[in-house]
Amino acid sequence: MQGKRISCVDLIVTEVKLFSPQLFLLELSPMDGETLPECKPGQFVELQVKGCDQVFLRRPISVYYSDDRRLGLLIRVAGNGTEQLSKAKVGDRISTILPLGNTFSAPQGRRPLLVGGGVGLAPMLSLGTKLKAEGIEPVFLLGGRDAHAFPDLALFEETGVLHLTTEDASIGEKGFVTDHSILNEDFSDVYVCGPTPMMKAVAKWAKSKDLRCEVSLENMMACGMGVCLCCVEPTTKGHKCVCTDGPVFNTQDLLW
């Protein structure tokens, strides 16, 4: 974390967009003409939850998109804290610590594969946006139970080549991401974020193809500063705090 600019600031809610009862977009902006610190792909923020006596700790949320005036967060309602955040109104102030965590490595080639599921779509869009700005067209492979699992597909289509899988075949190919026919093609790098079983399956496939694979872990977090040790992940280099040593790890370093 040395050398990283971390700020604790109050941000203003500029948009709340409900995709479903369990999934929503929260967009925040700085006040009084200020600018946001740079948030790199894979990094996350911690939001303070007000108005809920049962929630004491901040909630860690991956960055969906960001620039110097906007911060977009894709949030799944998973408890009292995130449910309260879903009720935020435009104009509300939310205390935010950002940016936290590390980021993805640069791709080794010109055809990276970005695999996402659930709220793991957020860091994949953030990474894809950066790659596109650098002249690299990312290939997205997104998986979910059904068509309702994918918000804002237009954002992904504008950013790279998009492929989908659903368990019920309501959109894209039927099955899991590791069943998709696109995996028969050649890629230079693999980046993944989503449910752990999905990440492990993709990591196994990447290893079989001798591809470097980086994952953004979604371990339970509390402090976000590496103090509480709530998010520790065993690795080949010892136990690491996902909030400070990660959340991005090379799968070769994980005990998977």
Are 171 and 164 a contacting pair, CB within 8 Å?
A: yes
- Kindly list the domain boundaries of the chain, sorted by start residue: 7-100, 113-216
Residue 223 marked in a binding site: yes
Per-residue pLDDT at 117? 98
Residue 243 marked in a binding site: yes
Q: Is it true that domain 7-100 has CATH number 2.40.30.10? A: yes
Residue 75 marked in a binding site: yes
Residue 23 marked in a binding site: no
Residue 81 marked in a binding site: yes
Per-residue pLDDT at 4? 64
Residue type, 105: S
Q: Tokens 């709530």, residue?
A: 230
Residue 61 marked in a binding site: yes
Residue 228 marked in a binding site: yes
* pLDDT tens by residue, the chain, 256 residues: 444 678 999 999 999 999 999 999 999 999 988 999 999 999 999 999 987 766 778 999 999 999 999 999 999 999 999 999 999 999 999 999 999 999 999 999 999 999 999 999 999 999 999 999 999 999 999 999 999 999 999 999 999 999 999 999 999 999 999 999 999 999 999 999 999 999 999 999 999 999 999 999 999 998 999 999 999 999 999 999 999 999 999 999 999 9
CATH code given to domain 113-216: 3.40.50.80
Residue 52 marked in a binding site: no
How far apart CA 214 and CA 230 sit, in angstroms, is 22
Per-residue pLDDT at 1? 40
Q: Is the dihedral of CA 145, 148, 193, 160 positive or negative?
A: positive
What are the Cα distances from residue 109, in Å, to 38, 52, 188, 189, 231?
25, 47, 5, 7, 32
Per-residue pLDDT at 32? 86
Q: Do domains 7-100 and 113-216 have the same CATH topology?
A: no
Q: Tokens 């065993």, residue?
A: 234
Residue 178 marked in a binding site: no
